[in-house]
Chain A
Amino acid sequence: MKNRHVLRLAVALIMGLAATACASDVVAVVDSTGRAVSVPQPVERIASAYGIGTYYVYALGAGNRLVAAWYVGVKTLGQAPDSLRAMEPRLDELFSVGDPNIEELAARRADLVLADAAKHEAFAAQMQGIGVPTLLLAPETTQGVVDTTLALGAALGEAAADRAARLVSDFWRVFAASEAATRDVPSGERPRVLFVGSSALQVASGAMYQTQLIEAAGGVSASADLVGGWNTVNLEQVLVWNPDVVIIPPYGNVTVDDLLTSADWQSVRAVQMGRVARMPRIFAPMDTPLPESLLGVMWLSSVLYPEWATFDVRAEAVAFYKAYYGHTLSQVEADAFLVP
Chain B
Amino acid sequence: MSAPRRRCLWLLYVLPVALFLVALLVGRYGGGVGDAFRALFSADPNDVLRSLILRVRLPRALAALLVGANLAAAGAVLQGLFRNPLVDARILGVSSGAAFGASLAILLSGSALAVQTGAFVFALLAVAVVLAVGWRLGATPLVLLLVGIAVSALFDALLGLVKYVADPLSKLPAITYWLLGGLGGASWSNLVPLALLSAVGLGFLFLVRWRLNVLTLSDDEAASLGVRVRPLRAAMVVAASILVAASVSQAGMIGWIGLVVPHVARAWVGSDHARLLPASAALGAAILLALDTVARTALPSEIPLGILTGLLGVPAFLLLLVGYLRARGATQ
The residues of A with any CB-CB pair to B shorter than 8 Å are: 72-76, 79, 97-98, 197-199, 201-203, 223, 225-226, 229-237, 239-240, 251-253, 263-264, 267, 285, 288
Contacts of A229 in B (CB 8 A): 173
**Cα(A263)–Cα(B56), bound, Å:** 11
Q: List 8 A-B contacts (CB under 8 A).
A: A75-B171, A198-B110, A198-B174, A199-B174, A232-B182, A232-B184, A234-B28, A251-B169
B226 interface residue, CB < 8 Å from A? Answer: no
Contacts of A239 in B (CB 8 A): 28-29, 48, 52
The residue in B111, B170, B184, B304 that gathers the most chain A C-beta atoms within 10 A of its C-beta is B170
**Cα(A229)–Cα(B174), bound, Å:** 12
State the interface size on chain B (CB cutoff 8 A): 28
**Cα(A197)–Cα(B170), bound, Å:** 8
B296 interface residue, CB < 8 Å from A? Answer: yes
The residues of B with any CB-CB pair to A shorter than 8 Å are: 27-29, 48, 51-52, 55-56, 110-111, 164-171, 173-174, 177, 182, 184, 296, 300-302, 304
Closest 5 CB pairs of A and B: A231-B301, A198-B170, A236-B28, A236-B29, A267-B48
Q: Which of A74, A75, A232, A251 contacts B301 (CB 8 A)?
A: A232
**Interface of A: prevailing SS:** loop
Contacts of A231 in B (CB 8 A): 300-302
Contacts of A240 in B (CB 8 A): 28-29, 300
Contacts of B28 in A (CB 8 A): 234, 236-237, 239-240
Knowing A236-B27, A236-B29, A240-B28, the reply to whether A230 touches B300 (Cβ < 8 A) is: no
**Cα(A97)–Cα(B165), bound, Å:** 9
In the complex, the answer to whether B173 meets A201 with C-beta atoms within 8 Å is no
- Could you tell me the distance in whole angstroms from the C-beta of B291 to the nearest C-beta in chain A? 15
In the complex, the answer to whether B56 meets A234 with C-beta atoms within 8 Å is yes
In the complex, the answer to whether A232 meets B29 with C-beta atoms within 8 Å is no
Contacts of B110 in A (CB 8 A): 198, 252-253
**Nearest B residue (CB) for A229:** B173
Knowing A232-B302, A236-B56, A267-B51, the reply to whether A285 touches B173 (Cβ < 8 A) is: no
In the complex, the answer to whether B301 meets A226 with C-beta atoms within 8 Å is yes
In the complex, the answer to whether B167 meets A230 with C-beta atoms within 8 Å is no
**Cα(A97)–Cα(B168), bound, Å:** 11
Contacts of B48 in A (CB 8 A): 239, 267
**Cα(A252)–Cα(B171), bound, Å:** 8
In the complex, the answer to whether B55 meets A263 with C-beta atoms within 8 Å is yes
**Cα(A72)–Cα(B169), bound, Å:** 8
- Could you tell me the distance in whole angstroms from the C-beta of B183 to the nearest C-beta in chain A? 10
Contacts of A236 in B (CB 8 A): 27-29, 52, 56, 296
**Cα(A201)–Cα(B177), bound, Å:** 12
**Cα(A201)–Cα(B173), bound, Å:** 13
In the complex, the answer to whether A285 meets B27 with C-beta atoms within 8 Å is no
- Could you tell me the distance in whole angstroms from the C-beta of A340 to the nearest C-beta in chain B? 23
**Cα(A234)–Cα(B298), bound, Å:** 12
- Could you tell me the distance in whole angstroms from the C-beta of A228 to the nearest C-beta in chain B? 8
- Could you tell me the distance in whole angstroms from the C-beta of B39 to the nearest C-beta in chain A? 13
**Cα(A39)–Cα(B51), bound, Å:** 62
In the complex, the answer to whether B169 meets A285 with C-beta atoms within 8 Å is yes
In the complex, the answer to whether B52 meets A73 with C-beta atoms within 8 Å is no
Contacts of B169 in A (CB 8 A): 72-73, 198, 251, 285, 288
**Nearest B residue (CB) for A288:** B169
- Could you tell me the distance in whole angstroms from the C-beta of A127 to the nearest C-beta in chain B? 21
In the complex, the answer to whether A73 meets B296 with C-beta atoms within 8 Å is no
**Cα(A202)–Cα(B304), bound, Å:** 13
**Cα(A76)–Cα(B110), bound, Å:** 17
